Amino acid sequence: MSDANYRYNQTIKLFGADAEPAFETPEQQEAVWGRRWGCDSDVGRLRLVLMHRPGAEMAVIDPAKRIEEIGAFGDPEAGWYWQSDEIPPLAEMQAQHDALVAALEREGVQVAFLDGVSDGRIKSCYTRDSSLAMKGGAVVCRMGPRLRRGEEAVATRTLADLGMPILRTIHGRGLMEGGSFAWIDAKTAVIGRSIRVNEDACRQLEEVLAAQGVELIRVDLAGYEIHIDGFFVMIDVDLALIDPDGLPYTFLQRLEALGVRTIEIAPADSSWIVNCLAVRPGRVIMPEGASNRTLDLLAQHDVEIVTIPYDKMALNGGGIHCSTCPLVRDPVA
């Protein structure tokens, strides 16, 4: 061995590749990426969230483009769809979105906004769907409907600008939207398979979670339901708000086995009541309109509720949970 080779080999040994500590450990995150990124629960204190205020992209909506057979509005050729029979003034939607931002900021949450939403992407205000967070970084999803394709690119650019690592981009024929993903606890997550989430994407997501020792539970949603967050949301470390009509009994049994208590919404409640957001364990931002029965049950479980009007934003097909993509949460004990 030459002297040069010897010195080179000794240098490699001295400054060699080290697998430990793992990528997502706090010390590696802070040293390499500037902060601890990601989430391993849906209830840890929320620190940073990604949102988008509806704006110029909404100009594509044309009230003359009514599709009578579905009782809604849209233009398949132009690539937009408004799923309600009422189109509110943009200013009213913006006012409700601003109120959600203000409520989050009062809770000490930093709000980041998507950068450069494309024309006509009227669902971009529902940032939950284009990406999701886990320990150490984000997974960029691949939207189901073609009219939402392109939202992923905006999310990717924004996350990169923020400095957040991207652990996986759903690719190939995978389809996945973040509204159908939820954390149950730090070692257990759930994905709702549906018309918007296929098994190819589940396998891709599972690979990333498995590297962190997290089990991914698959739940098959009924019919044409698209996201699990219309039926299941964690609101405390061991407490979920659910609409049991949209969940298989086997999943309810699994929640019980995991020690998760459940509060069932009243029949009078809309599904948007479930579509709420925990800002810390046992404190939730929820749309106005929950029944007294549901509010009483929440109070009995010591859940603190902050309510805001969100009915105009919901007319575009999403609620408070849909409108927020948590990027950083504190771990829960």
Residue 56 has a pLDDT of 96
pLDDT band at 13; cut points 50, 70, 90: confident
Q: Residues 161, 115: contact at Cβ < 8 Å?
A: yes
Q: Is the pLDDT assigned to residue 8 strictly greater than 80?
A: no
Q: Is the pLDDT assigned to residue 328 strictly greater than 80?
A: yes
Q: Residues 191, 183: contact at Cβ < 8 Å?
A: no
pLDDT above 70 coverage of the chain, percent: 98
The CA distance from 166 to 189, in Å, is 19
Query: How does DSSP assign 139-165, residue by residue?
Result: EE-B-SSGGGTTHHHHHHHHHHHHT--
Where in the chain are the domains? 27-54+88-329
pLDDT band at 1; cut points 50, 70, 90: low
Backbone φ and ψ of 216, nearest 5°: -110, 115
What are the pLDDT digits (tens) for 69-91? 888 999 988 889 998 989 999 99
What are the pLDDT digits (tens) for 301-324? 999 999 999 999 999 999 999 999
Q: Given strand 232-236, what is the order of strands in its sheet?
A: 232-236, 239-242, 261-264
What are the pLDDT digits (tens) for 184-233? 999 999 999 999 999 999 999 999 999 999 999 999 999 999 999 999 99
Average pLDDT, the chain: 95
Its pTM stands at 0.96
Pick among 2.30.250.10, 3.40.50.720, 3.75.10.10, 3.40.140.80: CATH of 27-54+88-329: 3.75.10.10
